[in-house]
Amino acid sequence: GAQAVGMGKDAQSVQAGAELFLKANEILGYDLLDVCLNGPKEKLDSTVISQPAIYVTSLAAVEVLRARDGGQQIIDSVDVTCGLSLGEYTALAFAGAFSFEDGLKLVKLRGEAMQEASDAAKSAMVSVIGLDSEKVQMLCDAANEEVDEQNKVQIANFLCTGNYAVSGGVKGVEAVEAKAKSFKARMTVRLAVAGAFHTRFMEPAVSRLEAALALTNIKTPRIPVISNVDAQPHSDPDTIKKILARQVTSPVQWETTVKTLMSKGLKKSYELGPGKVIAGIVKRMNKGADIKNITA
């Protein structure tokens, strides 16, 4: 949900960044920059477009950083990378696991497959603000007692204490929203996504992703890329393919990822791409965290 109309504008003043959007047009078959700059918002919010848009804008942000004084040294000094959900593809491209083009082809297919899975069943996602993970699980259990199997919900994104995304059938999500106050949640925010990402609702997308990943040339990343599925880095290309296929139906272990980085001595980090959600999460987990945003 990091997409916003106007993204990609800064990258146009950097030749390498602008070129990524031109390359993207050839692969996607439409003018991605035009949708990024001018919307309409409903179009940009659709998963089929938002996923390529965030991927390309995030890698364009790397070029914005590279073009700055000392930017190349910063890029060379990065020794670990990770990304939330779709961002894992950006992180893998940054780490050299696959080319910009191959990554974009995967992201295009991922967006299409997830949209189709969303269209096949009425599902949604909601952020629950102000509770720890145990309380959110109890809230999900209470909501699940009131709905049928098709509408059950689960925690899909473990972001940080006080911010967890719940995914599932629309009726289940509505039950979560109705009960949240009685569980002392501060608020709930319905997410601008097509459906219940990171749950069994995305199962139809898995086989299509597996087929595309099987045909993709994936190399050992030059630096560790931490996976959303198990909060561990993986260097074996076949393992990376398996993990990426599983990622769409598995909860995002972002809280564990950030805690692991901090426990291993993370000193400084950069959030590259649209929005400032990651920086917000990192600062909530460590008020003194040194994290800079580079947008494009």
Q: Which residues are catalytic?
A: 85, 198
Q: Do the beta carbons of residue 8 and residue 36 sit within 8 Å?
A: yes
Closest-CA residue to 250 (of 267, 230, 266)? 230
Distance of alpha carbon 219 from alpha carbon 237, whole angstroms:
6
Q: Is 31 helix (H, G, I), strand (E, B) or coil?
A: coil
In Å, how far are 87, 220, 252 from 83, measured between CA atoms? 4, 17, 10
Beta pairing, strands 290-294 & 268-272:
parallel
User: Is the bond into 40 cis (omega within 30 degrees of 0)?
Assistant: yes
Q: Which two tokens stand for residue 112?
A: 């299409």
The residues, any chain, with a CB within 8 Å of residue 57's CB and separated by 6 or more, are: 7, 8, 11, 36, 273, 274, 296
Measured distance between the N- and C-terminal CA atoms of the chain, rounded to whole angstroms = 16
160/289 Cα distance (integer angstroms): 14
